[in-house]
Structure 1
């Protein structure tokens, strides 16, 4: 019995060796190219089978979901599911491809035409119905925080129990009721009732205030993008003259989040020198004995990254700020970086505050083209039509690159100590213009004595980013990094 078992095991081993020998002999007789092709065919068939399985799963999921929906939209959902399944299985049809392309254009491209139309014609009037309207008696006007060409900004306080509080020092509870109030200047310019509906550029301070109110409201309706701006709470017209308010004046209202800007930090108003004054706010700690250059670079990198994220959010809505500068960047105690002052902003999705021949800007931070779109670009049509063509217009003119130039100047100003003064930025712009906006040439001929330590670290990462932001556009309106592209630059890679 034992002999029989061993004999069977021996025969099985011998048979297996014979099979392996046959396979090896067969392979030896196959041309290597033929063998490779065969493997590729098998892999392709397996991939196709995988795609078909995925397509069947998508089709089944679409049918299941459509069966749970109200009957008017059951068929469209099932059809779209079938279109996607056909595309995944590499078996698309013309009608299905056209439907998917239309959805991609209307919903997924930025700025989205559908979201733009819905916001302007549905959400704008709807939000006005529920927007809080402040009254003069509810507010106390306190210290002036700043002023510009189109308005003056004050600290305000929501009154409690109808009583005004003018005490110099506020309690912790009173500080929670603080507001920022912006009085729009009265310059006598007529405010067109159709200004926003016509999709054109603001004329005078009054319409500029209307444009800023529109931009802030538009951004506040987006739950993600709103994090990058000061919290807007609405507008009102003073119904009486009292407590510093003048009857008929237009006021915009924000939550008080900080009275410190990046400009204050760079000018030394926050105590310690810049950027050390922002260490605890931006990095969450103050560490003794840390390399000073490494620490300063980390602070600037953090500020710049948060700013670029905020700018990228605005651009996703089709909004170009056009006035990114230190005075318009709020720094909060929680380490947030928020963009303020949208009076010069333009909404390229609806055409509001846009004119191809004119634009608002600060020459210290504006790019050489000075306009968000080429001069030969047509004027904005009605907001509905402007929204429909906004993805095409955006890709053609790349208006977002206007803001990223300003961000590049800010990077230089933060990282190069000699450029932090306001007068130094003006001198820099004059010299850069003489170098035809070639930053490398400017550094070699005009700025050779400046301190570039923070930019030249880690293989000149900061300097490379600055050169890709502070530059001319090419003939295709490109040649400068967008906010999203800048965020992927190696300058933002973590440093250990």
Structure 2
């Protein structure tokens, strides 16, 4: 039996005739005070100075461990019968609490709040990389220049076709030569193509063309979707009836009047707001919404937004300078700035993405484009 004495620790003979069998090494352990230092027969291990010589201490410790079964605690071994095991502390696990659920829901809401932290990181590190691997590439010699379609604030637009498909409709493209803000517009169109392709014209590719000119040109390529802008349609004396067949494919079975005009104008505004919602949900503010920058797509029978040279990407801070603005004074909001001039310059892209929902909710920059849309609506309903 194992005894704990006032002068040491001893292990006595475990095979005492009066000891009952136990599940541990076939013996039951009993601890009691003992004044006898040498109870024979025994293999006694005493923690006294005399025991620590000639390797006797090693045998004593070994016999002690074998005799009493010292090892891992029962909380780890789960030893004992079922009654004793039920008194052990339960294993630690995930506990669902109301504060924890609220915190998790708040974190998820923040990650997907406009303009989107989680979608932003996925776009930045996954989609953009995959797109660079698989997108087609072009150069100047791949195109045959056609007629000039127009000229805007940030470049000249031509209708072109692919050199290897000069007569194919699949080769009908639109080329814009931009000397200013060309790199910004390429960035914006690539972002739109990945996030909300239906909001803007179908962008194909953009590249820098170095020529003999002092100023390099950026070439931007879109698929040809039509050459009629909302500004062109507004100039017609038959507006809004001239848009009816374009949008609906047929003439409504209604007499000319307010009800019929309202349906047409409501459809135009609905499509424009849908396109803007796609831009704003990904953090892009156009800043130059006007009829000249709204084109009618013949294939999808919808109005789409073009000319992103003045746009700013507030998810990562591209083309945003706090005390500068780009706008058309005819359609711009009176504030002129999309955010407070006290807003600091954008930090690195990952940091800006992580903080973008806070900045967006504090300033609500999407209202700048909505104001311009309201002016377009007033212009349409006031035409007589």
- By the TM > 0.5 criterion, same fold? yes
Q: Is the 8 A contact 1:141 1:156 kept in 2?
A: yes
Q: Write the distance in 2 (CA, Å) between the matches of 1:140 and 1:240.
A: 17
Q: Write the distance in 2 (CA, Å) between the matches of 1:387 and 1:364.
A: 32
Residue-pair matches, total: 291
1:350 aligns with 2:316: yes
Q: Is the 8 A contact 1:238 1:247 kept in 2?
A: no
SS at structure 1 position matched to 2:189? helix
Output aligned runs, 1:92-491, within 5 Å.
92-106=97-111, 108-160=112-164, 165=166, 174-185=168-179, 205=180, 208-222=181-195, 225-238=196-209, 249-268=217-236, 273-287=238-252, 290-333=255-298, 334-417=300-383
Q: Write the distance in 2 (CA, Å) between the matches of 1:239 and 1:348.
A: 30
Q: Is the 8 A contact 1:136 1:239 kept in 2?
A: no
Per-residue deviation, 1:278: 0.5
The residue aligned with 1:482 is none
Instruction: Output one character per residue of 1:436-494: Cα deviation in whole Å (capped at 9) or x when no partner.
Output: xxxxxxxxxxxxxxxxxxxxxxxxxxxxxxxxxxxxxxxxxxxxxxxxxxxxxxxxxxx
Q: Is the 8 A contact 2:178 2:218 kept in 1?
A: yes
Q: Write the distance in 1 (CA, Å) between the matches of 2:202 and 2:381.
A: 29
Instruction: Output one character per residue of 1:124-164: Cα deviation in whole Å (capped at 9) or x when no partner.
Output: 34322322211223211111111123211110111236xxx
Q: Write the distance in 1 (CA, Å) between the matches of 2:352 and 2:254.
A: 56
Q: More helix per residue: 1 or 2?
A: 1
Per-residue deviation, 1:250: 1.9
Per-residue deviation, 1:94: 3.0
Q: Write the distance in 2 (CA, Å) between the matches of 1:249 and 1:319.
A: 24
SS at structure 1 position matched to 2:168? helix
Per-residue deviation, 1:282: 1.7
SS at structure 2 position matched to 1:324? coil
Q: Write the distance in 2 (CA, Å) between the matches of 1:406 and 1:289.
A: 30
Q: Write the distance in 1 (CA, Å) between the matches of 2:285 and 2:329.
A: 16
Q: Is the 8 A contact 1:349 1:386 kept in 2?
A: yes
Q: More strand per residue: 1 or 2?
A: 2
Q: Is the 8 A contact 1:346 1:354 kept in 2?
A: yes
Q: Write the distance in 2 (CA, Å) between the matches of 1:368 and 1:235.
A: 34
Instruction: Output one character per residue of 1:158-187: Cα deviation in whole Å (capped at 9) or x when no partner.
Output: 1236xxx5xxxxxxx6333210101112xx
Per-residue deviation, 1:121: 3.7
| Structure 2 gap ranges (5+) | 1-92
* RMSD over aligned Cα atoms: 2.3
Q: Write the distance in 2 (CA, Å) between the matches of 1:132 and 1:238.
A: 16
Per-residue deviation, 1:246: 11
User: TM-score, length-normalised on structure 2?
Assistant: 0.71
Label 1:369 to 1:246 Cα distance change in 2 as closer, same or farther (>3 A): closer
Q: Write the distance in 2 (CA, Å) between the matches of 1:389 and 1:240.
A: 40
